[in-house]
Amino acid sequence: MAEERKTLEQRHQMTELERIRHSAAHVLATAILKIWPEAQFAAGPPVENGFYYDVDLPHRISPEDFEKIEAEMKKEIKANNVFERVEVTRDQALEDARKGRLAGLSERSEPSKFKLDIVQGIPEGEPISYYRNGDFIDLCAGPHVMRTGNIGAFKLTSVASAYYKGDERNPQLQRIYGTAFKNKTEMEAYFTMLEEAKKRDHRKLGREMELFCFDDDVGPGLPLWLPRGTVLIEELEKLAKETEFAAGYQRVRTPHLARENMYKTSGHLPYYADSMFPPMKLVEQAEKDQELQLWVEKMELKQKLDGALAIEDPEYGAVRDRFKVVERALEAIGDRYYLKAMNCPHHHKLYAAVPHSYRDLPLRLAEYGTCYRYEQSGELFGLMRVRSMQMNDSHIYCTEDQFEQEFRAVNDMYLKYFKIFGIDKYLMRFSTHDPSKLGQKFVDQPELWLKTEDMVRGVLQRSGINYVEVPNEAAFYGPKIDVQVWSAIGREFTIATNQVDFAVPSRFGLVYKTRENTEATPLCIHRAPLGTHERFIGFLIEHYAGNFPLWLAPEQVRVLPIGDEAPLVEYAQGIVTELRAQGVRADLDASSDKINGKILRAEERKIHTMLVIGKRDLEAGAVSLRVHGKGNLGAKPRAEVIADILSAIRERRA
């Protein structure tokens, strides 16, 4: 797929950090040319967490070359050259490209071939500009930092190969990645965070802690949840069900698949077909004979078309037409079912199943619905990108008058969850439509767009929620909010999406009777604060480094008697039984191992609370409390410790 050219508007929106990083790409090219003057450059944009520059060079650059290149980059930064912008005519740019002057330190015998191609691709009327730092001149629309010295800290990170313009018919280039920051401190913090993220990698911890697995026979991207992971799922569902119940939601259940026609009504087909699993075709017994006859006829016709009949033969046209008719008839036989990629259409059907009046609204239908999406196998990544996912889904059907209150309640629910999970930093990205793309990218209902966007913006502003507005990224049918959160080590995750839908309910013919006894279409809010189990648990594993709070921990309490004397083990077993009767996930380590071995094993397993039982504890009716990561907290009365465990779980204490 070809890479898209940035619009001028997108360039203006580049952040300071992006400018630093993009400027560092120019400095990288400068340095490479000092070492290899024949280097040819293609594109050098900022990317997430850094920048790259694509270079064509006979020498294969490897990480061993980085030190040498970085040394040259340092010289260029130390020189503190100004990034000077020069606007030129198209003819001038073409001439300089032919002389090898673009992305070069001087004129060269070879033309700047990629830059020449890029100049030729710049739309007529768009300004053409160069940026110069020292001797290096590059074709670039900017923006940059003022001087090379503004690049506070940088590092080359990796090298990969990439096709020019991302098209495999084009030559293969070397893509050199690096990152840059305002200063050394920020860069060091970034690399420390990466190191920490590696230790907390959800795939690694998921395996070590026996939370989930994948199996080739089940299929890529289809996670299997082991008992300990299933505990996490069920605790999250319990939290969601309690919270939603208190907020007036009603639970529903829907099947995992539906007929093709529903997805045509919803608009998923044909637009979303690539992201869905291919259909299953069901043919009723009564149709099977007819299907077989059509198959036989199709084969006969195909034989004729494939050679038995010459194209010049007058019969050929008629055979070809019949072939098409038979193919269509075969298509029409039977029923096609799709695995659901979203829960919304099923919920719309539930809304439609019962007549509604304004008195029934808002109607909040909730389901932890399982969805299936066909992600390319190259895109699959642990729990973060999967093909089956269980979503904390709900659809709220309401009148326009109710919208603000409902939307605000959804936001409050987010904030409540953030508090429970100790998420201190979050951002809501509010995506709006682009009026110039009505009827193409966005449903053509200009007044409804403005109205709903105003409503959403109003709620966000009035409730003091941390948000940014992003134009041109709304869903097809309404404005959208993506919720980004930062884990404890400062890594960013997109965990959830809210959408306001003013278009699809009418496609499904959803109505309610108004106070005046007329019919009106409700608005629909799609919301999933806990996202999908897969992504949210992936996030939580990193966020907690696997050290889940007591209420969420797969094994909450382990009781460890010192030695295996009968009265001691009986006392320990009594504590386990008492805790289990209260729903606490408690286990007994009755092995004959030394106590240090038992503690070590429990600590390695990240068991939240360990109750060590010695003779003195038994005599005093006490337990010696030990908490993972906090060490030994001393002996306490048994009843007090159990009461505290129960209240910590009930309150979902951090």
Residues in contact with Zn ion by CB under 5 A are 140, 344, 526
Give dist(CA 296, CA 302) in Å, integer: 10
Q: Which residue number, 140 or 576, has a Cβ lying nearer to Zn ion?
A: 140
Residue 1's Cβ-side half-sphere holds a number of Cα atoms within 13 Å equal to: 3
Minimum Å distance from CB 141 to Zn ion?
7
Contact 329, 263 (CB under 8 A): no
Minimum Å distance from CB 254 to Zn ion?
12
Q: Which residue number, 115 or 585, has a Cβ lying nearer to Zn ion?
A: 115
Contact 552, 530 (CB under 8 A): no
How is residue 342 written in tokens? 């979203």
Sequence-distant (≥ 6) Cβ neighbours of residue 16 within 8 angstroms? 145, 182
Minimum Å distance from CB 23 to Zn ion?
7
Minimum Å distance from CB 68 to Zn ion?
23
Q: Which residue number, 206 or 369, has a Cβ lying nearer to Zn ion?
A: 369
Minimum Å distance from CB 22 to Zn ion?
5
**Which residues in 432-464 are b (16+ Cβ under 10 Å) and which e?**
bbeeeeeeeebbebeebbeebbebbeebbeeee
Q: Which residue number, 200 or 527, has a Cβ lying nearer to Zn ion?
A: 527
Give dist(CA 4, CA 207) in Å, integer: 39
Q: Which residue number, 526 or 638, has a Cβ lying nearer to Zn ion?
A: 526
Minimum Å distance from CB 445 to Zn ion?
19
Q: Which residue number, 268 or 526, has a Cβ lying nearer to Zn ion?
A: 526
Angle at 93 between CA 91 and CA 97, to 5 degrees: 120
Q: Which residue number, 526 or 543, has a Cβ lying nearer to Zn ion?
A: 526
Q: Which residue number, 136 or 212, has a Cβ lying nearer to Zn ion?
A: 136
**Which residues in 611-646 are b (16+ Cβ under 10 Å) and which e?**
bbbbeebbeeebbbbbebeeeeeebbebeebbeebe
Give the three-state DSSP class for 481.
Answer: strand
Minimum Å distance from CB 652 to Zn ion?
27
Contact 402, 550 (CB under 8 A): no
**557-561/609-613 β-pairing:** parallel
Question: What is the H or E stretch that residue 475 is in?
Answer: none
Minimum Å distance from CB 499 to Zn ion?
7
Sequence-distant (≥ 6) Cβ neighbours of residue 69 within 8 angstroms? 28, 31, 32, 35, 61, 156, 176
